[in-house]
Every structure is written in structure tokens, then in C-alpha cells.
Structure 1
Amino acid sequence: MHQHHVRPDGLPPVNGYSHAVTFGGRMVAVSGQVPLDAAGNLVGEGDAAAQTRQVFDNLTTALAAAGATMADVVRLTIYLTDLADLPAFRRVRDEYLSPDAPPASSLVQVSGLVHPAFRVEVDALAAI
């Protein structure tokens, strides 16, 4: 069972993440997912929302292969090449995660990802 500490007393407001998550169970680590479809094609060139949706679809697929779902995610690390993409990222992320039990998260702006057209990459840690 997971316990989400969204905003403990004394910590600042959050936007779609928990300050801390406690959990037990089998751990599932998902490598950074990028906006490539099953055929290896880039999805959404120049479109942060389309790329984010593909990344979360890939996360969902990888988690399912390990017997997990997005509800089992306890931590995300998000890499964006442009912080102007953050509102689009948040809108799509919120389609995949429960607002009542968001994972702990870190967001990092990076100068680039493995492919110059990638705008977003996300890795995950889940507990089942």
C-alpha cells in the first residue's frame, strides 16, 4: 500500500506531485521513456503535448509488462529541454495520474536529450 504525503505541514504548495510517498512491495524501475512509437518513429515533432502523451503511453506499456500500472508509480523524474513546455506536460501528465495520489517527482531542465527532436523524457519507479 502506498501513502502519499502530498503537502505535509511546513512545505510549499504542489502542482501534481507528492512531497513524499511511503510504500512497500516489489519494485519496478522503468528506464527513461522518450517520444518514440513501437516502430521507433518520433511522435509529435515540435509538439510537447504529443511527445508527452507518447512518453506516458510508453511508460504505461513498460509498467504493464512488469505487472504494474500508473497507479503503482511512486516516483517520476522528468527531463524537459524547454521549461515553456511545462504547462503542456502537466496537462497530459494529469490524464495519466490520479490527482489524489500523485507520485513524488523531480523535474530537470536539460540542454538536450539523446535525439535533438526529443523535448521530454520520463523515468519511473513503481511499487506493486
Structure 2
Amino acid sequence: MSLTALHPKGWPAPRGYSNGLMGEGRLVILGGQVGWDAQGHFAEGFVAQTRQALRNVLAVLAEAGGRAEHIARLTWYVTEIAEYRDSLAELGPAYRSVMGRHFPAMTLVQVVALVEPEAKVEIEATAILPP
């Protein structure tokens, strides 16, 4: 099973995400994951927390038998949009180190705060696994 990218004719190519993906199979919905390890210790800095949050997304997804390529959508919540923008050069390699070259549909929004005071980012995911 694979996901099919949805890209309207004439639109500019998205960079680092997809406009939409379509697939058929078992739906897996993951709650937001923050950048802490299994012991609840937060990684230092925005990029490190993002890398750990993505690893946590994949760890939960693996419980359903899924992998990165099954993720159809990621929603990122960040506490400082400027920190995200300032980290883009480091963020791309960090993302690819966890997710490979799989770029699902993504949304990123700034929020006032996250439930864990040390969290700089929280990422939730929707995946479609083969039937």
C-alpha cells in the first residue's frame, strides 16, 4: 500500500510537505507527542525536541505496525514560530534523519503554551496502514 500525493495542476511544488495524501487501509490517529524521552526528560532546544517528538510519533505508530511512510498528516504545534523559522536550516536534516524523505500533508501553528511547560513543540499524526 502506498499513499498518493494530491497536487492540483498549476500549483507550485510544496517544499518539505504535501498538499494532501490519499490512501486506503486502517486509520491510526496519534495524539500529540512532545520532545521528551521514555523517562520524561526533554531534549535541549527546538530542533532536538522536534527530532525526539518525531521519534515518539514513530514509536507509537509502530505499536500499530506502522512506519513513517504510512503517515498521511502531521500537525505541529509550536510555542515560538520565530524559533521554528530560525531553525529551518537545521530542522530539515533533523526531520529527514527520523522520517526519511517522506513528506506528508502538514500544518504548523503557533500556540500560546503546551501542557508540558518545557515543551517547545508537539506533533500529532494521522496514518493509513495497509488493510
Range of TM-score over shorter length: 0.7 to 0.9
Q: How does 1:70-89 map to 2 (within 5 A)?
A: 70-83=68-81, 84-86=83-85, 87=88, 88-89=90-91
2:22 maps to which residue? Answer: 22
Identity percentage of aligned residues: 35
Given candidates 45, 48, 51, the residue that maps to 1:50 is 48
Displacement, 1:62? 0.3
Runs of 4+ with deviation above 6 angstroms: none
Aligned residues, how many? 124
**Does the 8 Å contact 1:4/1:102 carry over to 2?**
no
- Between the aligned partners of 1:56 and 1:36, the Cα distance in structure 2 is 10
Q: Which amino acid aligns with 2:95?
A: R
- Give the structure-1-normalised TM-score: 0.87
- Among 87, 96, 99, which residue is 1:97 paired with? 99
Q: Deviations over 1:81-106 (max 9, x none)?
A: 1122241444422323343x421111
Residue 110 of structure 1 deviates from its aligned partner by 0.9
Indicate the SS of the match to 2:75.
Answer: strand
CA distance in 1, matches of 2:97, 2:10: 28
* Cα distance between partner residues in 2 of 1:72 and 1:59: 12
Question: What TM-score does the superposition give when structure 2 sets the normalisation length?
Answer: 0.85
Maintained 8 Å contact 1:16/1:94: no
Shift of 1:55: 0.3
Gap runs ≥5 in structure 1? none
Q: Which runs of 5+ in 2 are unaligned?
A: none
CA displacement 1:50-92 (0-9 Å, x = unmatched): 1011101111110111110111100000111112224144442
